[in-house]
Amino acid sequence: RKRFKRTAGIGTSLLLVALLTSYGVHHYQERRQEAVLEAADITIWYSLDNDEELQMQKDKAMEDIVASIKDSDVYADVNIELKGIDEDQYEDELNKANASGDMPCIYEVPENFDLSAYDTEDLSGIIKEFSTKDYLFLGNYSKYFSDYNSLPTGFNVPVIYINQTLLPDVDFDGIDVKNMKMLMDLDDGNMQYMPMAIDPDIAENYSTIFDDFDDYKELMENATKEDFLNGTAVAYFSDTSEYFEVRTALLGSAVMLPVNTKNVICTTENRFAISECDGAEEKAATKILSYFLSNNAQEIYYIQTSLPGLPMEKVALNKYYTVIRRQFSDVLANTDNFIFEK
Protein backbone atom coordinates (compact mmCIF):
# COMPACT_ATOMS: atom_id res chain seq x y z
CA ARG A 1 0.00 0.00 0.00
CA LYS A 2 2.81 2.38 0.88
CA ARG A 3 4.43 1.56 -2.40
CA PHE A 4 1.18 2.27 -4.26
CA LYS A 5 0.76 5.56 -2.48
CA ARG A 6 4.33 6.54 -3.27
CA THR A 7 3.86 5.58 -6.93
CA ALA A 8 0.58 7.44 -7.03
CA GLY A 9 2.31 10.45 -5.45
CA ILE A 10 5.07 10.35 -8.04
CA GLY A 11 2.50 10.10 -10.81
CA THR A 12 0.58 13.05 -9.44
CA SER A 13 3.81 15.05 -9.14
CA LEU A 14 4.83 14.25 -12.69
CA LEU A 15 1.38 15.24 -13.93
CA LEU A 16 1.65 18.51 -12.01
CA VAL A 17 5.13 19.17 -13.41
CA ALA A 18 3.89 18.41 -16.92
CA LEU A 19 0.94 20.77 -16.49
CA LEU A 20 3.13 23.52 -15.04
CA THR A 21 5.71 23.03 -17.79
CA SER A 22 3.01 23.16 -20.45
CA TYR A 23 1.56 26.30 -18.86
CA GLY A 24 5.04 27.84 -18.50
CA VAL A 25 5.93 27.22 -22.14
CA HIS A 26 2.58 28.57 -23.29
CA HIS A 27 2.90 31.59 -20.98
CA TYR A 28 6.49 32.24 -22.15
CA GLN A 29 5.48 32.01 -25.81
CA GLU A 30 2.57 34.33 -25.14
CA ARG A 31 4.82 36.86 -23.37
CA ARG A 32 7.55 36.50 -25.98
CA GLN A 33 5.01 37.12 -28.73
CA GLU A 34 3.96 40.31 -26.92
CA ALA A 35 7.53 41.41 -26.19
CA VAL A 36 9.32 40.62 -29.47
CA LEU A 37 9.40 43.68 -31.68
CA GLU A 38 8.03 43.56 -35.18
CA ALA A 39 10.51 43.50 -38.06
CA ALA A 40 12.13 46.89 -38.54
CA ASP A 41 15.24 48.41 -40.12
CA ILE A 42 16.89 50.98 -37.84
CA THR A 43 19.78 53.19 -38.93
CA ILE A 44 21.78 55.08 -36.30
CA TRP A 45 24.00 58.01 -37.25
CA TYR A 46 26.63 59.49 -34.96
CA SER A 47 29.51 61.94 -35.33
CA LEU A 48 33.16 60.98 -35.15
CA ASP A 49 35.99 63.07 -33.73
CA ASN A 50 38.87 64.01 -36.02
CA ASP A 51 41.20 62.01 -33.78
CA GLU A 52 41.65 58.52 -35.24
CA GLU A 53 41.96 56.80 -31.85
CA LEU A 54 38.71 58.38 -30.62
CA GLN A 55 37.02 57.37 -33.87
CA MET A 56 37.99 53.74 -33.27
CA GLN A 57 36.85 53.88 -29.66
CA LYS A 58 33.46 55.36 -30.50
CA ASP A 59 32.85 52.92 -33.36
CA LYS A 60 33.67 50.01 -31.06
CA ALA A 61 31.53 51.35 -28.20
CA MET A 62 28.52 51.77 -30.49
CA GLU A 63 29.07 48.31 -31.97
CA ASP A 64 29.31 46.77 -28.50
CA ILE A 65 26.11 48.48 -27.39
CA VAL A 66 24.25 47.23 -30.47
CA ALA A 67 25.66 43.70 -29.94
CA SER A 68 24.38 43.82 -26.36
CA ILE A 69 20.97 44.95 -27.59
CA LYS A 70 20.82 42.15 -30.16
CA ASP A 71 21.55 39.56 -27.45
CA SER A 72 17.91 39.90 -26.45
CA ASP A 73 15.18 37.97 -28.27
CA VAL A 74 13.15 41.17 -28.20
CA TYR A 75 15.22 42.48 -31.12
CA ALA A 76 15.40 39.22 -33.09
CA ASP A 77 13.62 40.73 -36.09
CA VAL A 78 15.14 44.21 -35.83
CA ASN A 79 18.06 45.06 -38.10
CA ILE A 80 20.32 47.81 -36.69
CA GLU A 81 22.81 49.59 -38.96
CA LEU A 82 25.42 51.99 -37.59
CA LYS A 83 26.96 54.86 -39.53
CA GLY A 84 29.71 57.06 -38.12
CA ILE A 85 30.36 60.36 -39.93
CA ASP A 86 33.31 62.74 -39.50
CA GLU A 87 32.25 65.66 -37.30
CA ASP A 88 33.36 68.20 -39.94
CA GLN A 89 30.77 66.79 -42.35
CA TYR A 90 28.15 65.63 -39.88
CA GLU A 91 25.82 68.65 -39.76
CA ASP A 92 25.88 68.97 -43.56
CA GLU A 93 24.99 65.30 -43.90
CA LEU A 94 22.08 65.72 -41.49
CA ASN A 95 20.80 68.76 -43.35
CA LYS A 96 21.05 67.00 -46.72
CA ALA A 97 19.25 63.94 -45.38
CA ASN A 98 16.51 66.11 -43.90
CA ALA A 99 16.07 68.01 -47.17
CA SER A 100 15.81 64.77 -49.15
CA GLY A 101 13.47 63.11 -46.66
CA ASP A 102 15.93 60.30 -46.08
CA MET A 103 16.76 60.78 -42.40
CA PRO A 104 18.23 58.03 -40.24
CA CYS A 105 15.83 56.67 -37.65
CA ILE A 106 18.09 57.59 -34.70
CA TYR A 107 20.78 60.25 -34.89
CA GLU A 108 23.17 62.08 -32.62
CA VAL A 109 22.35 65.76 -32.23
CA PRO A 110 25.35 68.14 -32.30
CA GLU A 111 25.66 70.58 -29.39
CA ASN A 112 23.62 73.78 -30.02
CA PHE A 113 22.05 72.21 -33.13
CA ASP A 114 18.67 73.64 -34.12
CA LEU A 115 16.09 70.85 -34.44
CA SER A 116 13.16 73.14 -35.27
CA ALA A 117 13.29 72.22 -38.98
CA TYR A 118 13.38 68.49 -38.20
CA ASP A 119 10.40 66.20 -37.67
CA THR A 120 11.17 64.28 -34.48
CA GLU A 121 9.41 61.86 -32.17
CA ASP A 122 8.27 62.92 -28.70
CA LEU A 123 10.72 61.24 -26.29
CA SER A 124 8.91 61.98 -23.03
CA GLY A 125 7.67 58.37 -22.97
CA ILE A 126 11.25 57.12 -22.61
CA ILE A 127 11.74 59.18 -19.46
CA LYS A 128 8.70 57.52 -17.89
CA GLU A 129 10.40 54.12 -18.21
CA PHE A 130 13.10 55.12 -15.73
CA SER A 131 13.22 56.09 -12.09
CA THR A 132 14.54 59.64 -12.46
CA LYS A 133 16.17 59.49 -9.02
CA ASP A 134 18.64 56.99 -10.51
CA TYR A 135 19.88 59.56 -13.04
CA LEU A 136 21.24 63.07 -13.10
CA PHE A 137 19.16 65.63 -15.01
CA LEU A 138 16.23 63.34 -15.99
CA GLY A 139 14.08 64.66 -13.14
CA ASN A 140 14.10 68.05 -14.88
CA TYR A 141 13.94 66.71 -18.43
CA SER A 142 10.81 68.69 -19.34
CA LYS A 143 12.48 71.92 -18.17
CA TYR A 144 15.66 71.39 -20.19
CA PHE A 145 14.05 69.85 -23.28
CA SER A 146 10.57 71.34 -23.39
CA ASP A 147 10.05 70.14 -26.97
CA TYR A 148 10.81 66.54 -25.87
CA ASN A 149 12.70 66.12 -29.14
CA SER A 150 16.10 64.87 -27.95
CA LEU A 151 17.67 62.89 -25.15
CA PRO A 152 21.22 63.17 -23.78
CA THR A 153 22.95 60.02 -22.60
CA GLY A 154 25.90 61.77 -20.94
CA PHE A 155 27.19 65.15 -19.80
CA ASN A 156 30.27 67.28 -19.21
CA VAL A 157 31.07 69.46 -16.20
CA PRO A 158 32.82 72.86 -16.34
CA VAL A 159 36.33 72.71 -14.87
CA ILE A 160 39.38 74.95 -14.86
CA TYR A 161 42.62 73.33 -15.95
CA ILE A 162 45.79 74.75 -14.39
CA ASN A 163 49.39 74.25 -15.46
CA GLN A 164 50.85 73.91 -12.00
CA THR A 165 54.45 74.12 -13.22
CA LEU A 166 53.80 77.83 -13.84
CA LEU A 167 52.59 78.24 -10.22
CA PRO A 168 55.09 76.10 -8.31
CA ASP A 169 54.40 77.75 -4.95
CA VAL A 170 50.64 77.03 -4.96
CA ASP A 171 49.19 73.92 -3.31
CA PHE A 172 46.09 73.03 -5.34
CA ASP A 173 44.88 70.18 -3.12
CA GLY A 174 41.33 70.80 -1.95
CA ILE A 175 40.79 73.97 -3.98
CA ASP A 176 37.37 74.39 -5.52
CA VAL A 177 36.57 77.60 -7.34
CA LYS A 178 33.63 79.55 -5.90
CA ASN A 179 34.33 82.82 -7.69
CA MET A 180 36.84 84.37 -10.06
CA LYS A 181 38.47 86.55 -7.42
CA MET A 182 39.67 83.62 -5.33
CA LEU A 183 41.27 82.15 -8.44
CA MET A 184 42.95 85.40 -9.43
CA ASP A 185 44.30 85.84 -5.90
CA LEU A 186 46.37 82.66 -6.18
CA ASP A 187 50.14 83.09 -5.90
CA ASP A 188 49.70 86.43 -4.10
CA GLY A 189 47.65 87.77 -6.99
CA ASN A 190 50.20 86.93 -9.70
CA MET A 191 47.72 84.58 -11.37
CA GLN A 192 45.83 87.43 -13.01
CA TYR A 193 48.96 88.64 -14.81
CA MET A 194 49.58 85.32 -16.54
CA PRO A 195 48.09 84.17 -19.90
CA MET A 196 44.74 82.36 -19.62
CA ALA A 197 42.42 80.82 -22.20
CA ILE A 198 38.76 79.84 -22.40
CA ASP A 199 36.75 77.51 -24.61
CA PRO A 200 34.65 79.97 -26.65
CA ASP A 201 31.81 77.47 -26.98
CA ILE A 202 31.06 77.63 -23.25
CA ALA A 203 32.32 81.13 -22.39
CA GLU A 204 28.73 82.31 -21.97
CA ASN A 205 28.09 79.57 -19.42
CA TYR A 206 30.96 80.83 -17.29
CA SER A 207 29.37 84.28 -17.23
CA THR A 208 26.40 82.67 -15.50
CA ILE A 209 28.40 80.30 -13.30
CA PHE A 210 30.53 83.04 -11.72
CA ASP A 211 28.85 86.30 -10.66
CA ASP A 212 32.15 88.16 -11.08
CA PHE A 213 33.25 86.49 -14.33
CA ASP A 214 32.73 89.59 -16.47
CA ASP A 215 35.14 91.52 -14.24
CA TYR A 216 37.95 89.26 -15.45
CA LYS A 217 36.70 88.13 -18.85
CA GLU A 218 39.14 90.18 -20.88
CA LEU A 219 42.07 88.43 -19.17
CA MET A 220 41.17 85.36 -21.23
CA GLU A 221 41.54 87.13 -24.52
CA ASN A 222 45.34 86.97 -24.56
CA ALA A 223 45.74 83.19 -24.99
CA THR A 224 44.20 80.18 -26.72
CA LYS A 225 43.66 76.52 -25.94
CA GLU A 226 46.77 75.73 -27.99
CA ASP A 227 48.81 78.09 -25.79
CA PHE A 228 47.67 76.17 -22.75
CA LEU A 229 48.38 72.76 -24.29
CA ASN A 230 51.90 73.80 -25.29
CA GLY A 231 52.61 75.05 -21.77
CA THR A 232 52.65 78.84 -22.19
CA ALA A 233 49.26 79.67 -20.62
CA VAL A 234 48.55 79.06 -16.94
CA ALA A 235 44.81 78.29 -17.09
CA TYR A 236 42.18 76.97 -19.46
CA PHE A 237 38.47 77.41 -18.66
CA SER A 238 36.77 74.45 -20.27
CA ASP A 239 34.96 71.27 -19.20
CA THR A 240 35.59 67.59 -18.56
CA SER A 241 35.21 66.69 -22.26
CA GLU A 242 38.83 67.82 -22.80
CA TYR A 243 40.33 66.02 -19.83
CA PHE A 244 42.15 63.31 -21.81
CA GLU A 245 43.54 65.79 -24.33
CA VAL A 246 44.85 68.04 -21.55
CA ARG A 247 46.30 65.10 -19.63
CA THR A 248 48.15 63.86 -22.71
CA ALA A 249 49.57 67.29 -23.59
CA LEU A 250 50.60 68.24 -20.04
CA LEU A 251 51.25 64.87 -18.48
CA GLY A 252 51.91 65.33 -14.78
CA SER A 253 51.67 69.13 -15.00
CA ALA A 254 47.93 69.81 -15.26
CA VAL A 255 45.44 69.89 -12.40
CA MET A 256 41.69 70.04 -12.81
CA LEU A 257 39.95 72.47 -10.45
CA PRO A 258 36.25 71.88 -9.74
CA VAL A 259 33.70 74.66 -9.97
CA ASN A 260 31.61 75.03 -6.82
CA THR A 261 28.81 77.54 -7.30
CA LYS A 262 25.03 77.48 -6.93
CA ASN A 263 24.45 76.73 -10.62
CA VAL A 264 27.08 74.63 -12.37
CA ILE A 265 25.98 74.68 -16.01
CA CYS A 266 26.86 71.38 -17.68
CA THR A 267 26.72 70.48 -21.36
CA THR A 268 25.17 67.41 -22.92
CA GLU A 269 27.14 64.56 -24.46
CA ASN A 270 25.83 62.05 -27.01
CA ARG A 271 22.40 63.61 -27.33
CA PHE A 272 20.11 61.68 -29.66
CA ALA A 273 16.85 62.26 -31.50
CA ILE A 274 14.44 59.94 -33.30
CA SER A 275 13.10 60.92 -36.71
CA GLU A 276 9.34 60.92 -37.03
CA CYS A 277 8.33 57.39 -37.99
CA ASP A 278 5.41 55.04 -37.53
CA GLY A 279 4.57 51.60 -36.22
CA ALA A 280 7.35 49.05 -35.96
CA GLU A 281 10.19 51.51 -36.60
CA GLU A 282 9.01 53.93 -33.93
CA LYS A 283 8.65 51.18 -31.31
CA ALA A 284 12.04 49.68 -32.09
CA ALA A 285 13.83 53.05 -32.18
CA THR A 286 12.30 54.10 -28.87
CA LYS A 287 13.33 50.86 -27.19
CA ILE A 288 16.87 51.07 -28.62
CA LEU A 289 17.37 54.67 -27.49
CA SER A 290 16.08 53.87 -24.01
CA TYR A 291 18.73 51.13 -23.82
CA PHE A 292 21.40 53.80 -24.25
CA LEU A 293 20.51 54.95 -20.72
CA SER A 294 20.87 51.47 -19.22
CA ASN A 295 23.70 50.78 -16.81
CA ASN A 296 25.31 48.38 -19.29
CA ALA A 297 25.32 50.86 -22.19
CA GLN A 298 26.54 53.68 -19.93
CA GLU A 299 29.45 51.55 -18.75
CA ILE A 300 30.35 50.42 -22.27
CA TYR A 301 30.46 53.97 -23.61
CA TYR A 302 31.73 56.09 -20.74
CA ILE A 303 33.74 53.73 -18.53
CA GLN A 304 35.33 51.27 -20.93
CA THR A 305 36.66 54.06 -23.18
CA SER A 306 38.47 57.38 -22.94
CA LEU A 307 35.76 59.15 -24.91
CA PRO A 308 34.45 62.54 -23.76
CA GLY A 309 31.49 62.57 -21.41
CA LEU A 310 30.31 61.27 -18.06
CA PRO A 311 27.50 58.74 -17.50
CA MET A 312 24.15 60.09 -16.33
CA GLU A 313 23.15 56.85 -14.63
CA LYS A 314 24.26 57.22 -11.00
CA VAL A 315 25.60 53.69 -10.45
CA ALA A 316 27.85 54.02 -13.50
CA LEU A 317 28.82 57.55 -12.49
CA ASN A 318 29.73 56.43 -8.99
CA LYS A 319 31.92 53.68 -10.43
CA TYR A 320 33.50 56.22 -12.78
CA TYR A 321 34.89 58.46 -10.06
CA THR A 322 35.34 56.04 -7.14
CA VAL A 323 36.95 53.14 -9.01
CA ILE A 324 38.05 54.09 -12.52
CA ARG A 325 39.03 57.78 -12.42
CA ARG A 326 39.35 58.99 -8.87
CA GLN A 327 40.73 62.34 -10.02
CA PHE A 328 37.10 63.24 -10.83
CA SER A 329 35.90 62.79 -7.24
CA ASP A 330 36.18 66.49 -6.34
CA VAL A 331 34.65 67.56 -9.64
CA LEU A 332 31.61 65.35 -8.99
CA ALA A 333 31.26 66.10 -5.28
CA ASN A 334 28.32 68.54 -5.65
CA THR A 335 26.10 67.02 -8.33
CA ASP A 336 23.02 68.60 -6.72
CA ASN A 337 24.22 71.90 -8.19
CA PHE A 338 24.53 70.53 -11.74
CA ILE A 339 22.07 71.86 -14.29
CA PHE A 340 21.69 71.98 -18.05
CA GLU A 341 21.13 75.32 -19.73
CA LYS A 342 17.41 75.80 -20.36
Q: d(Cα 55, Cα 59) in Å, to the nearest integer? A: 6
- φ and ψ of 278, to 5 deg: -125, 160
pLDDT digits (tens, 9 = 90+) for 213-261: 999 999 998 899 999 999 999 999 999 999 999 999 999 999 999 999 9
Least confident span in 1-15, 193-207, 226-240: 1-15
Query: Does residue 64 surpass a pLDDT of 50?
Result: yes
Q: How confident is the model at residue 2 (pLDDT cuts 50, 70, 90)?
A: very low
Query: Does residue 100 surpass a pLDDT of 80?
Result: yes
Is 48:84 a contact under the CB 8 Å cutoff? yes
pLDDT given at position 341: 84
Comparing C-alpha atoms, which of 288, 287, 241 is closest to residue 62? 288
Report helix angle 52-70 to 279-291, nearest 10. 120
Query: Does residue 6 surpass a pLDDT of 80?
Result: no
Per-residue pLDDT, averaged over 16-23, amounts to 43
Least confident span in 11-20, 34-43, 79-88, 199-208: 11-20
Is 332:321 a contact under the CB 8 Å cutoff? yes
Comparing C-alpha atoms, which of 236, 225, 217 is closest to residue 162? 236
Least confident span in 15-24, 122-131, 183-192, 315-324: 15-24
pLDDT given at position 21: 42
pLDDT digits (tens, 9 = 90+) for 143-158: 999 999 999 999 999 9
Query: Does residue 28 surpass a pLDDT of 70?
Result: no
- Average pLDDT of every residue of the chain: 90
Per-residue pLDDT, averaged over 256-268, amounts to 96
Instruction: State pTM to two decimals.
Output: 0.87
Least confident span in 13-22, 51-60, 239-248, 324-333: 13-22
Is 266:338 a contact under the CB 8 Å cutoff? yes
pLDDT given at position 278: 83
Query: Does residue 287 surpass a pLDDT of 50?
Result: yes
Query: Does residue 164 surpass a pLDDT of 60?
Result: yes
Query: Does residue 11 surpass a pLDDT of 90?
Result: no
Per-residue pLDDT, averaged over 168-187, amounts to 95
Provide the 8-state DSSP code for 137. Answer: S
